[in-house]
Structure 1
């Protein structure tokens, strides 16, 4: 909280630098507030280092938080007033001076008195420190810098191997022909989901079921959405069906047309509601072919209701030995044999293990804390003595999780609490949550690299501490998407509420209390319906999540009065039709706004004319559309000099005709549609690190060569570029290689979509960046095998040859080729019928996906790639599908691969259905 108060001091300092008469009228009060806040901040640094906080001290901290928010609101409102006066006329100083003289009594009685009251409250709060005996609370050890730790995407929880084997045997047993429901039951953190994932992904189930589907269930769910997702997993091509799948009789359709006659395995993860199962089972036919359903739940009554004739599988707590093994594994970041346990820590480790009560999640989180401690008796004993343990009804785990939160520095506490805003099971983008942290001022201002680099480090620290899980990594190894465990999410929501950090509105009618609750930050989740005109003038961050199939008009977010949110720093909206907003709902200026996220929205073309965003840093327009014929935003004369990141839309080609020469701070331009003649204007954006454009013009062969020269003149100035994406859906691609560019050695990801210029046809290895990590080619139309060239890229780890990138018939991977390739994807190579892999090719490859290569009838000799861990074949030819079956000709090529998946082939399935 000490660092949180620091942001208030910064606001005060900024105001004192204002050379206008309004400030002079209250300068004395502002300086006094600044002095009092410094005293409070010094005291808070001491309090933040204590661990034994009682209820009285906690209440005192809450009062400090409230007064800090109150100060920030006063100052932000004051700055708004200054900006309004400045905008009235170029001769604003004279007008403001007159205004002060006319309204001096108003300022004296208003702002002056408000500041005086704040000073009194600050003084009273500071004086109470003696009564609360804050100095005697007892300190804990200083926190060291985090050390590297293993990924926690799929934690290997000790003790689940036997459970996995038993469940798999039950699933394979065909002596019971009816569709049985096996329930995995246990408290949060026991590893129900982890066990179910191990079962679902086991190669021992390969070929046992005709189709499989995994579906996560949240406490707030939409039945039709769940059924639709299962349908898409059983038959993915239905996702793009036109007209789309409707809600009408969805359960009947799933049962009759997609599951009937098949032996299926359906896993429903985290079921809370008996009624949900009663609805869900109507879509699951029982053909007496030994189909199986697995549900994970914390509720024993849900398990019994699902199948009264099948005994629920109740997860046990880990034994002392298993818990000890898991604790040491997490604390030391490697498996430790029992004979090598450090003797000087063994007794303490056993006591810590026993305190965790055999709960895997508690042990994992505690192990994450220990990675940051010195490996000596004093450090571990201090941790043991300072945790307030209560071993009843899972409270002990909450204490462990709370302790991991208290162990964070203030800026990481703020970053962690931000996860309270996101709905359960929401796909959280690592990039965008870090951009929100930047907008909020959570990221340390000092340190190596850019503020974006430091924000990414904050996320990585939360991952290392096992508080956040990475669900998908990006091409550069950073977090692309992440999630938070239910228990940790509950902790974040509870702490955010206690500290008045974030107010999360979960129920449909809660949002109508928005104005009365005066939240500092508000997250609206499924808040429908909403009363018209709701707003909160104190709110600095507003996150509205309308994901799913909620219609624009019924989302409720369109009824909010956005003109009443004058202090916003972060605004995100999902599935809102902004073109229906009345004038009353528009705000003349959002001078504090730094992050604007509009996802799946319908946006008025003149939004940047109606709003004013003088300090905006990030614009996210993912999957949104503009109400203009050319999908173009009206940005004439709009200048946002602070703009750093622009994310447009790969789906509908949003045009953003910014005056690029006035936006030199830009670091990210992603999927912005642009006319080719405007490319040269981007040469002023010399700080770009990620550059992605969609060229809307149709270029012939000669024009493509010419325009590549213009594009090179732009890229010559972007010496920090690490990501380059050039796409066109019409004609030839203006690209001829990066060899002549200064960023040639820095570019790590290259995404090219469009037909190669004819004279190039087969590219040379020199065209590609020296340290290229990921390459995606789309519609390139290459006629000769590109593998002899691409396999010479020494740093390449990920290769996607997508739709139409290669139109030839053969691919040959040579001995020694692709020395560092880890992932390979072949998608819609319609003429490919032969693929040869030589001995020693791709020596560390672990993932292959082959999708819609209908003329590929035989797999290559994959047994030559012993490092393969996963093979996915989607929509194969009949011959390939038959060859991968139990007695097929390709089985010997894939026996060594732990996880093999064949999807989307069903010779008996009808394409048409009612």
Structure 2
């Protein structure tokens, strides 16, 4: 996995020394620092060498992962160290070049000695790296016999051994907890549909996909339901001709008719033979463990449709490959429930007569099984390991306490390690660092999409793609990890994007072992390492005063404290001893002061102080010219320092103060005033939240790169200038506008962007009756997916205008809205709406839902509609509804609910809260 470090170094070289990056420097290079002229070519030369090393590592990754050869292991470690050294040097180069560009001609002349010494040191460092790479090459030549073994035996068989889930294949007593899945697969194999059908069984590694399909496959084969059968284990580096040959051998009715020279045939020759073999026959083909859709496409067109109900089953870990099947023929496996998991474990661990857990081990068994997270392969393997141990509490407690270490080292758990190893080893190179990064967070941690994309960007993991922002690219990386089942989706936001995800416990444990071995990152339990020079990232989740004394990681890039895991002394120690820090995430920590020497962290890209007790930022923050994200949300900071205007790379600023935690007052949160000079912040994309002052509104007009803006304390008199400024922001996708109080009327007349893809709109304050009939909503309203209105107090029913001009709404929330007594949703209104919230509407007593209205609605919230005495008419016709929450209603409503037996009428709704 040293290629993760190499890839990071290559990304840094590309972004720093690409033509676009160098162009603004050419005049300075010519006139000021002659030494700068040779650095780009030297760095590019190193990049070419590293790229070759990376290609070699990728080619032999399976063998390197499993080798016991110490020469190879040390060589890989040295590659990683060299790559890390390159990253450090380039970060220093980038910082000093940025300083050089910012300074005036006179300042550069006065500091010529400093720059001369600095860039001489950088050049010397790069030349040292060049020598190190030459030594790596010489070592590879000198010990050629060791490296030659990497090129041998890297065939599909090796990969298949790594990738294949075999841990459950020997289960003879039946598959636990998959009765329904077996029945469903068997029903799909029945000749009800006479066309050739592609089925997919998919999900996280170790869920027993292969075992399930093998069980069904062997059963139908024994019953001779199909004319011919083939089971192909598809390796990562598949070969279409190899698979075609196997299909011909497996499916041929008469083996004697298989050409003797089959192995020397290729392409169209093999296709012709396969077509003859399949002609008129009903076949069942299983393509096991398919990673790449191209592996299927390469042979699927030759698997002819005879119109006799032939079937192809694909097992895969990725949703992309699973989508090759029709929606009605896709089966996503889930982890076993507690009862089934315990049953499988007991079958393997206890060989007594009834295969039951002895009473004295029951608690330990439950803890161990819980750590397996419902993965049959892990449960099965750990059950086998414990089956040969003494059935004493002491022996089993050791297994429970050392669970993570056992996963890494115990030979009996090799299948579990192999199943995940292949997922990591064959990850696309742009995803490896992102994946390993997620393992640094605590077990069962809810990973926020919003945080992850900013952290990955700050780390330099994300590279530019077309016209997309780095954050948009990071969003796609996250989706790739979820589609590959390496992260589990927990929750989507109101417009369908990922909100939170997590790592399965065992995936995290094994990924963390990779992180530790590669010095990619360490967590709480690994602080006492003897390789502190190599450690790049550190995550702690417990506030411990003794931690600061051992934090001596001079090359540390990332420090993440979760669950309030850092305090002031630790922060002081960290800043003093880790000058290369790029990420400092301290949210929820009991910190009240940021030391002035934070300005020495020249490489800092991300500063997270959310929900800390910090009351101000030191003036030295102006030195942090690489800062991209500053998170001051819900801190004690009242005023943004003017020095923040010198952070020209700043992309995301969260600076919102919570005034009333119970949100009882209208202005329960308060934005920051933008300091003079903020108009030069050309990179800024996120501002949450700005207080509307005359100066702030004036400055906003120049921040045309904004994508997210929250602004509060808006007065009617501000609206013309404010919305004129907003109209210039073509990239704006999320907007919150909050009035000075709940009676202030907001006027949208000046809001007239020529082009804008506004997706999320939150308005807090009164609106004029014709607001949503204005030209801006007629022209651009179709882009809006999320709309929240609070205290709007408009006089008429706005739903007709909303349905007409915002037909693509997915989320709609209206609170404290005093208008008509009846609210009606007409036929074909809001066809994409999935969530509807209606709250605090004192006059509304009737809600009507016509047939075919809100036909995609999944969640309905009716809160404090105290005049409403009846359940919404037509609600029982909304077949898509999955959640109904009614709160704060009158006694008459509750009586009508019981009298009309609405519980029965809405029996298709899984979750009802009244």
Short-chain TM bin: 0.5 to 0.7
Structure 2 vs 1, CA of residues 442 and 516 (structure 1 numbering), >3 Å: closer, same or farther? closer
Structure 2 vs 1, CA of residues 588 and 896 (structure 1 numbering), >3 Å: closer, same or farther? closer
Give yes or no for the alignment of 1:785 onto 2:785. no
**Structure 1 counterpart of 2:664:** none
SS at match of 1:736: coil
Following the alignment from structure 2 to structure 1, what is the Cα–Cα distance between the partners of residues 421 and 77? Answer: 17
Q: Residue 71 of structure 1: which of 86, 92, 106 is its match?
A: 86
Structure 2 vs 1, CA of residues 739 and 162 (structure 1 numbering), >3 Å: closer, same or farther? same
Q: Residue 649 of structure 1: which of 646, 653, 656 is its match?
A: 656
Give yes or no for the alignment of 1:444 onto 2:463. yes
Instruction: Give yes or no for contact 1:52–1:138 (8 Å, CA) kept in 2.
Output: yes
**Structure 2 counterpart of 1:580:** 593
Residues 164-195 of structure 1 show CA distances to partners (whole Å, capped at 9, x for unaligned) of: xxxxxxxxxxxxxxxxxxxxxxxx9888xxxx
**Structure 1 counterpart of 2:485:** 466
**Structure 1 counterpart of 2:857:** 845
Q: Residue 520 of structure 1: which of 536, 554, 565 is its match?
A: 536
**How many angstroms does 1:442 deviate by?**
1.5
Following the alignment from structure 1 to structure 2, what is the Cα–Cα distance between the partners of residues 326 and 420? Answer: 36
Give yes or no for the alignment of 1:536 onto 2:458. no
**How many angstroms does 1:29 deviate by?**
9.7
Q: Residue 665 of structure 1: which of 673, 679, 683 is its match?
A: 683
Higher share of residues assigned helix: 2
Residues 420-465 of structure 1 show CA distances to partners (whole Å, capped at 9, x for unaligned) of: 1222222222122112222222123344533222221111111111
Following the alignment from structure 1 to structure 2, what is the Cα–Cα distance between the partners of residues 382 and 865? Answer: 35
Structure 2 vs 1, CA of residues 21 and 140 (structure 1 numbering), >3 Å: closer, same or farther? farther
Structure 2 vs 1, CA of residues 655 and 342 (structure 1 numbering), >3 Å: closer, same or farther? farther
**Structure 1 counterpart of 2:200:** none
Structure 1 spans left out of the alignment, 5+ residues: 144-156, 164-187, 192-316, 328-337, 351-364, 903-914
Following the alignment from structure 2 to structure 1, what is the Cα–Cα distance between the partners of residues 97 and 776? Answer: 54
Following the alignment from structure 1 to structure 2, what is the Cα–Cα distance between the partners of residues 648 and 122? Answer: 48
TM-score (ref. length: structure 2): 0.65
**How many angstroms does 1:65 deviate by?**
0.9
Q: Which has the higher Rg, Structure 1 or Structure 2?
A: 2
Structure 2 vs 1, CA of residues 683 and 131 (structure 1 numbering), >3 Å: closer, same or farther? same
Following the alignment from structure 1 to structure 2, what is the Cα–Cα distance between the partners of residues 653 and 463? Answer: 36
SS at match of 2:296: coil
Following the alignment from structure 1 to structure 2, what is the Cα–Cα distance between the partners of residues 441 and 340? Answer: 55
Structure 2 spans left out of the alignment, 5+ residues: 160-174, 182-203, 236-286, 301-311, 318-376, 383-412, 659-668
Following the alignment from structure 2 to structure 1, what is the Cα–Cα distance between the partners of residues 824 and 657? Answer: 32
Structure 2 vs 1, CA of residues 558 and 840 (structure 1 numbering), >3 Å: closer, same or farther? same
Matches within 5 A, 1:13-52: 13=17, 19=29, 35=45, 38-50=48-60, 51-52=62-63
Structure 2 vs 1, CA of residues 138 and 21 (structure 1 numbering), >3 Å: closer, same or farther? farther
Give yes or no for the alignment of 1:818 onto 2:822. no
Following the alignment from structure 1 to structure 2, what is the Cα–Cα distance between the partners of residues 679 and 366? Answer: 60
Following the alignment from structure 1 to structure 2, what is the Cα–Cα distance between the partners of residues 830 and 411? Answer: 54
Matches within 5 A, 1:126-525: 126-127=140-141, 128=143, 131-133=146-148, 134-136=150-152, 138=154, 159=177, 320-321=211-212, 346=231, 348=233, 369=291, 371=293, 373-374=295-296, 392-393=381-382, 395-447=414-466, 449-506=468-525, 511=527, 516=532, 518-525=534-541
Structure 2 vs 1, CA of residues 525 and 377 (structure 1 numbering), >3 Å: closer, same or farther? farther
**Structure 2 counterpart of 1:249:** none
SS at match of 2:761: strand
Structure 2 vs 1, CA of residues 737 and 891 (structure 1 numbering), >3 Å: closer, same or farther? farther
Structure 2 vs 1, CA of residues 767 and 368 (structure 1 numbering), >3 Å: closer, same or farther? farther
Which is worse superposed, 873-882 or 860-869? 873-882
**Structure 2 counterpart of 1:270:** none
Following the alignment from structure 1 to structure 2, what is the Cα–Cα distance between the partners of residues 383 and 770? Answer: 40
Matches within 5 A, 1:94-109: 94-95=109-110, 97-98=112-113
Structure 2 vs 1, CA of residues 542 and 382 (structure 1 numbering), >3 Å: closer, same or farther? same
Structure 2 vs 1, CA of residues 343 and 22 (structure 1 numbering), >3 Å: closer, same or farther? farther
Structure 2 vs 1, CA of residues 574 and 480 (structure 1 numbering), >3 Å: closer, same or farther? same
Following the alignment from structure 1 to structure 2, what is the Cα–Cα distance between the partners of residues 108 and 471? Answer: 45
**Structure 1 counterpart of 2:346:** none
Following the alignment from structure 1 to structure 2, what is the Cα–Cα distance between the partners of residues 693 and 632? Answer: 16
**Structure 2 counterpart of 1:593:** 604
**Structure 2 counterpart of 1:4:** 8
Q: Residue 622 of structure 1: which of 610, 619, 633 is its match?
A: 633
Q: Give the RMSD, CA atoms, in angstroms.
A: 4.7
**Structure 2 counterpart of 1:864:** 877
TM-score (ref. length: structure 1): 0.65
Give yes or no for the alignment of 1:708 onto 2:719. yes
Structure 2 vs 1, CA of residues 323 and 786 (structure 1 numbering), >3 Å: closer, same or farther? farther
**Structure 1 counterpart of 2:335:** none
Which is worse superposed, 70-79 or 93-102? 93-102
Following the alignment from structure 1 to structure 2, what is the Cα–Cα distance between the partners of residues 477 and 866? Answer: 20
SS at match of 2:523: strand
**How many angstroms does 1:376 deviate by?**
5.8
Instruction: Give yes or no for contact 1:593–1:613 (8 Å, CA) kept in 2.
Output: yes
Following the alignment from structure 2 to structure 1, what is the Cα–Cα distance between the partners of residues 316 and 872? Answer: 55
Instruction: Give yes or no for contact 1:779–1:805 (8 Å, CA) kept in 2.
Output: yes
Structure 2 vs 1, CA of residues 716 and 321 (structure 1 numbering), >3 Å: closer, same or farther? closer
Structure 2 vs 1, CA of residues 634 and 119 (structure 1 numbering), >3 Å: closer, same or farther? same
Instruction: Give yes or no for contact 2:82–2:129 (8 Å, CA) kept in 1.
Output: no
Q: Residue 570 of structure 1: which of 583, 599, 602 is its match?
A: 583
**How many angstroms does 1:808 deviate by?**
4.7
Following the alignment from structure 2 to structure 1, what is the Cα–Cα distance between the partners of residues 824 and 50? Answer: 69
Q: How many residues align?
A: 689
Instruction: Give yes or no for contact 2:82–2:133 (8 Å, CA) kept in 1.
Output: no
**How many angstroms does 1:367 deviate by?**
5.6
**Structure 2 counterpart of 1:314:** none
Residues 226-258 of structure 1 show CA distances to partners (whole Å, capped at 9, x for unaligned) of: xxxxxxxxxxxxxxxxxxxxxxxxxxxxxxxxx
Instruction: Give yes or no for contact 1:348–1:381 (8 Å, CA) kept in 2.
Output: no
Give yes or no for the alignment of 1:736 onto 2:745. no
Following the alignment from structure 1 to structure 2, what is the Cα–Cα distance between the partners of residues 10 and 750? Answer: 38
